[in-house]
Chain A
Amino acid sequence: MRGTKVLAVVAAVLLALACLPVGGCSVDGAAEGGEGSEPYRIGAVLSLTGTYAGLGIPEKNAIELEVARINDAGGVGGRPIEVIYEDDATDAAKSQAAAVRLIDEEGVLAIIGASGTGQTMAMRADAERAGVPIISMAGGSVITDDFSEWVFQTPWPNRIVVPFVLDQMAAAGHTSIGLISDTGGYGVDGRDYVLAHAGEAGVTVVADETYNAGDTDMSSQLTKIRAAEPDAVLIWAAGKEAAIIARNARQLNMTQPLYGGSGIARAEFIDGAGEAAEGVRLGTGKILVPEAFGEGTESYEVATSFISRYEDAYGTKPDIFAGHAYDAIGLVADALGRIEGEVTSDSLRDALEKTSGWVGIDGTFTYSATDHNGLTQDEMVLYIIEGGTWRLDR
């Protein structure tokens, strides 16, 4: 009997530990804001656990940092911002439930999120039903291609990144390319755009291989690509598999240059690929090397100020996901500040849509009634990995 009790205690402790990171929601921000002024309540649905925890955690860091800065400076028009965080555990069903809770129980003005494309799409129906704007930090093209007046997006979708990278490859004289992409949402979306835009960019896809998340070796696919003798290889992938591809290519003595997009714009790719990352080129936004914005420009000041504040607070440089979140909360604060008259979800949506020339990390945003991404290829830059870090190519 005593043994059973011990077991029960052990089980309870383990369960408690396991559930810790999944703890429902937490509130922060300056709820204590000055002179009883009512805070603006904003929801945030992030993947703090699960597969996209590597996205959700820096996103939460950036939002907390920015909310604290805005509130310390007196809030928006004298009213502080309060953010209510929900973890969707990288699960579309949970993000939908979180959106319902934020809308119906917390009465938020807008929702920042989700971290992932599938999770964002799952929140749409409820946001449209209740008339609450969503500012997504996910990069899937579908988020703004499949247009909804209530859904906005901060990262550069594949619609923008793919043609940019293909143009860069063509400009470097690589007119026949081998493609390797993952079978997840990011890879499939990217592959569709590569196949659709290759002709326009003047490149031919001579090999088109895929792999599944969790695969541990891609040398078979690369052997097949090598046999097709392309000028260069394009990796449209995210996660640790992208680093395996770079390693496998190096080990197979492939001489073709490797290209990629935002999916490999992470320090973990360089750590994982090691030597094999050297010389890999990737197209993404300018946060990795803020000089790309042009020193002295407003964008440069915004980016370097954010980078140094983030480094002070968290001890690491912000990654692209932190940038997506900076923009999401920044766009909301900017729109709130421009509202004349009563602040409601409706007036916030209208103000967001009128965003014009707002300078953020992912670029300078100009939304319109038909464009809720607001970015162009001008925000893209080509990097080359050298000496274990990113440098501007050419």
Chain B
Amino acid sequence: MEAAEFLQYVIAGLKSGSIYALVALGFTVVYGSTGIINFAQGEFFMLGGVLTVWFYGLGLPVPIAGLAAVATTAALGILFERFALRKQRSAGPLVLVIITIGGSMVMKSLARHLFGPDELSLPEFTPGPSIDIAGAAVERQALWVWGLTIVAVVVLWWLYRKTRLGRAMRACSISHDAARLMGIDTARIVMVSFGIAAALGALAGFAVTPLTQTSWDAGAAIGVKGFAAAILGGLGNPVASVVGGLVLGLLESLSVAFISSTYKDAISLAVLLIVLFARPQGLFGSARREKV
């Protein structure tokens, strides 16, 4: 295999991988502050795409439509936490997880009802032929996907490490009770983390729609991939989720290159299982006490 061809596979892997990474980050942010898996995360991805198309259809330019979609989805994430989940917090994680599954069904049905059953399209941010890098073709939109992923990761890192809010979120992820005793409004932190998770999912949906189109049922498949990426990297650790996403994308692409596209998903799943047997905390997760 030529170097240029190999590079093409790597680029394809990083392209899918950075999308998985953004969705995985959403899982991680919610898990970090609540200890639950939010199965509606894929729907935030879908909403980011369909709402951008809807705002774009109203005549807004693409970047503004995207921002509006991300903001709307973040607001929906906050409302979802406030009205569907908060009252049931004492009922335990299993009930909360089931509520997120129900929430994802409601969002899907509403999206189908409001935006129709067909695929929706969005123009590329900067249309034009692909860019040649050492003989491999890179789509311009892929550069946008990578750029937005990097921005999101940097902002999230800054938020976690440099702000009071971030410190409070980290405190919550260590112990809710201790955080509350220190005067942290844990309920607010949980709500904010749902907002951030929804925004991250929506950002991914916005960035990828020009490449893939979107539709009301786009969330389920990407939700599974993002979840796998988060587990692979190590739930609760943002950097690990990003690496998990990129590794998953590369695994899929290189499986096509060296083995067969038929077994692409099976191979990624097998690697995921092997990692979990060897390191239940994920590739980069710390082996700290499991929270309930």
Contact = CB atoms under 8 A, between A and B. Distances in A.
Given A219-B15, A223-B257, A274-B121, A252 B137 contact: yes
B212 A244 contact: yes
Interface string A167-198: 00000000000000001000000000000000
A240 interface: yes
A210 B262 contact: yes
Contacts of A54: 117-119
B261 interface: yes
Contacts of A19: 109
Nearest to A52: B117
A51 interface: yes
A220 B87 contact: no
Nearest to B139: A251
A221 B123 CA distance: 24
Nearest to B99: A11
A252 B265 contact: no
Given A3-B87, A54-B117, A223 B222 contact: no
B149 to A, nearest CB: 14
B215 A240 contact: yes
Given A216-B211, A253-B130, A268-B119, A221 B110 contact: no
A226 to B, nearest CB: 8
Contact of A272 (B105, B113, B119): B119
B43 interface: no
A359 interface: no
Contact of A18 (B12, B109, B119, B137): B109
Interface of A is mostly: helix
Contacts of B1: 227
Interface in A290-347: none
A216 B123 CA distance: 16
A15 B127 CA distance: 41
Interface in A233-292: 239-240, 243-244, 247, 251-253, 268, 271-272, 274-275
Given A10-B83, A223-B8, A239 B130 contact: no
Contact of A220 (B117, B118, B215, B253): B253
A219 B83 contact: no
B213 A217 contact: no
Interface residues of B, number: 48
Given A53-B112, A183-B262, A209-B261, A220 B212 contact: no
A209 B13 CA distance: 17
Given A216-B208, A220-B256, A57 B117 contact: yes
Contact of B9 (A210, A220, A271): A220
Interface string B64-100: 0000000000000000000110010000000000000
Contacts, number: 126
B12 A216 contact: no
Nearest to B255: A220
Contacts of A210: 261-262
A335 B17 CA distance: 55
Most buried by A among B83, B253, B256: B256
Nearest to B221: A214
A220 B130 contact: no
B28 interface: no
Nearest to A268: B119
Contacts of A20: 109, 113
Contacts of B262: 183, 210
Contact of A7 (B87, B139, B257, B261): B87
A217 B211 contact: yes
B5 interface: yes
Nearest to A244: B212
A179 to B, nearest CB: 11
A7 B5 contact: no
Interface in A60-107: none
Interface in A1-38: 3-4, 6-7, 10-11, 14-15, 17-22
Contact of B12 (A4, A217, A240): A217
A212 interface: yes
Most buried by A among B118, B221, B261, B265: B261
Contacts of A130: none
A47 B132 CA distance: 44
Contacts of A219: 8, 11-12, 15
Given A7-B87, A49-B112, A220 B12 contact: yes
A211 interface: yes
15 contacts: A7-B83, A18-B109, A49-B109, A57-B117, A212-B221, A215-B221, A216-B211, A217-B16, A217-B211, A219-B12, A219-B15, A221-B256, A251-B139, A252-B130, A271-B213
Q: Which 4 A-B pairs give the minimum distances between C-beta atoms?
A: A214-B221, A53-B117, A220-B256, A18-B109
Given A219-B12, A220-B257, 14 more contacts: A4-B87, A6-B83, A17-B109, A49-B109, A183-B262, A212-B221, A212-B265, A213-B221, A214-B218, A216-B19, A219-B11, A220-B252, A244-B211, A253-B137
